[in-house]
Structure 1
Amino acid sequence: MSETRPEGLPPQHQTHQPGSEQEMQPRPHSAPAGEPGRRLAGKVALITGGDSGIGRAVALAYAREGARLAIVYLDEEEDARQTQKDIQAMDAPCLLIPGDVGSPDFCRSAVRAVMDAYGRLDVLVNNAAQQYPAQSIEQISAEQLEHTFRTNIFSMFYLVKEAMPFLTRGARIINTTSVTAYRGSKHLVDYAATKGAIVAFTRSLSQQLAPAGIHVNAVAPGPIWTPLIPASFSEEEVASFGKNVPLGRPGQPDEVAPAYVFLATEGASYMTGQVLHPNGGEIVNT
């Protein structure tokens, strides 16, 4: 399967965060492969950043496994509607919830919307993120620093706190961290710092919630072709994106989504506090 995937990307750039999948060339691969197993039948999953990229691929994969979906997104209406349409084509419901996960009030209303629509919540995928490259720490303004942390890590605290009254034994919390949490990134110092915080958050929360039977794990993708890439980097940087990993190419969202499916199913019943690494072959110190 991977041998047929493109190894290079044409130069391109987007001027807004977190980016639009509709504007990307080529479009990311999001559709799940193989036959559905209905491993999430009856479950309800809330996915932040679920309109595009990794979140979209996870949503599609969960729908194929029988889950009912709620997708949180910022303002990428066209991407969100397309994802909803594709999920509904699998005979799965999909609730769209637009808003800013950096707001605790919004996170409260998002969880309430899920409970109003479905009456339960089984899987929380904290995936929404933004990044703003800077050549020097001196270029990172106080506003950018707060915005990055509020979107990438504060939101996880907000959503977990709001979800806790509704999560029961066997529920799953899955957080998206990054390979940058382990190897760093000189151009994404604030972003990488949030991703390192997510690793510590995952490990700490998993210990706190283990007695309640709630599993907390994370996924640390490497270079994946998502809207965040053309929205963050120049055309030249996009053209060389992902070529420095051992597999020699960027990954596609559908190559990451199976990790989230596994962590949401009974196959991961003896895993908590762990991080999976779909990163194209980079060796990281876990």
Structure 2
Amino acid sequence: MTEQQNPAERHPTPDFPSQDQPHPGWTGPMDPPPDHGEETYRGSGRLADRKAVITGGDSGIGRAVALAFAREGADVLFTHLDGEKDDAAETVRWVEEAGRRAVPVACDVREEENCRALVDRAVSEFGRIDILVNNAAYQMSQPDGIEAISTEQFDRVMRTNLYGMFWLCKLALPHMPEGGSIINSTSVQAYKPSPHLLDYATTKGAIVTFTQGLAQMLIERGIRVNAVAPGPVWTPLIPATLPDTTEFGKQAPIGRPAQPAEMAPAYVFLASQEASYITAEIVNATGGTPLP
């Protein structure tokens, strides 16, 4: 049994050491190291023999979800960028240690043909897609305001966070059986946008709307669509995209950022049959920040 703890004291709290990485960022150099549930997550067979596709599964929330899904009995195909092969290998190791299949695929979801190839690979490997987790995302802080957001950056944020999700949902649907589940990653930024993340926050608001609309469209096919809205989470994206990480997460009422391991149970629940009456919902995991 997991020891009961004060949630504010369960994981490291700011101030953190100053650190900076080039995009996309890697897990190894982070201080403190992120917790993906490697030593703590205990499965109970809730996703036995499910076949899952997770974008951005090499690190952060995606790795924690892949690990948890595997320990719940699912096989996992996940995406990573070309520069993230070492992190992807670590995700493979943890999934395979859980006794499940891990299929890493280098894929940039900004291109429709890449998404098509990804779905084709998943069907070739697994025969079907029971769970689709749209988790890949891009952000880049621009403290100097909208004038500093280039068209190139805006396009990259939109295509990574929205286009990829749209294409993968559309392409995966013919291969999803009744009882399937789509889970999108939105953010506290959808409701309380930080000015320096204007373009990123815009996409996260759109993901909320897309999730709720698609859920109503697909329930007649027996497929549920939900989303998780994390608050600040300690992942490689943070030192790779924010100018100062020393106080990251301090603004949350809980006083610290979440660890990826704290997000994974929400995805497991939404993917499981225990959530059979839940669709078009946003599970807020914000560390105490009230949301609508």
TM-score norm. by structure 1 comes to 0.96
Which digits, 9 at most, give the CA deviation of each residue in 1:119-148, with x for residues without a partner?
111000000001011121011111111110
Give the CA deviation at 1:113. 0.6
Q: Please give the residue correspondences for 1:180-199 in structure 2 after superposition, counting only pairs within 5 Å.
A: 180-199=189-208
Deviation per CA, 1:181-233: give whole Å up to 9, x if none.
Answer: 00111000000000000000000100110111100000000000000100011
Name the SS for the 1:159 alignment partner: helix
Alignment of 1:134-283 (within 5 A): 134=142, 135-234=144-243, 237-283=244-290
Alpha-carbon distance between aligned partners in 2 of 1:155 and 1:30, rounded to the nearest angstrom: 24
- Is 1:31 aligned with 2:40? no
Q: Corresponding residue for 2:106?
A: 98
2:251 maps to a residue whose letter is N
Secondary structure class of the residue paired with 2:79: strand
Q: Distance in 2 between matches of 1:38 and 1:179?
A: 30
RMSD of Structure 2 on Structure 1 (CA):
1.0
% identity of equivalent residues: 49
Secondary structure at the counterpart of residue 240 of structure 2: coil
Q: Structure 1 counterpart of 2:12, which letter?
A: P
- Counterpart of 2:54 (choices 40, 47, 57) is 47
After superposition, the C-alpha distances for 1:241-281 in whole angstroms (9 at most, x for unaligned) are 00011100111000011000000001110011000011110
Q: Which residue number in structure 1 is paired with residue 87 of structure 2?
A: 79
Distance across 1 between alignment mates of 2:150 and 2:181: 35
The CA deviation at 1:34 is 4.8
For structure 2, which runs of at least 5 residues remain unmatched after alignment? none
Secondary structure, counterpart of 2:195 in structure 1: coil
Residue aligned with 1:240, SS: coil
Structure 1 unmatched runs, 5+: none
TM-score of the superposed pair, with normalisation by structure 2:
0.95
Q: Specify the alignment match of 1:14 in structure 2.
A: 21
Q: In structure 1, what residue type is equivalent to 2:232?
A: P
Query: What is the CA–CA distance in structure 1 between the aligned matches of 2:155 and 2:42, rounded to whole Å?
Result: 43
AA paired with 2:101?
P
2:291 — aligned with what? 284
Distance 2:182 2:10 in 1: 33
After TM superposition, give the deviation of residue 4 of structure 1 in Å. Answer: 3.4
Q: Does 1:126 align with 2:134?
A: yes
Instruction: Give the Cα separation in 2 of the matches to 1:145 and 1:203.
Output: 24
Confirm or deny: 8 A CA contact 1:22 1:78 kept in the other structure.
Answer: no
2: distance between equivalents of 1:34 and 1:71? 19
SS at match of 1:162: helix
* Count of matched residue positions in the alignment of Structure 1 and Structure 2: 282
The superposition leaves residues 11-31 of structure 1 with CA deviations (integer Å, 9 ceiling, x where unpaired) of: 1011222x1112211211002
The whole-number CA distance in structure 2 between the counterparts of 1:262 and 1:99 is: 27
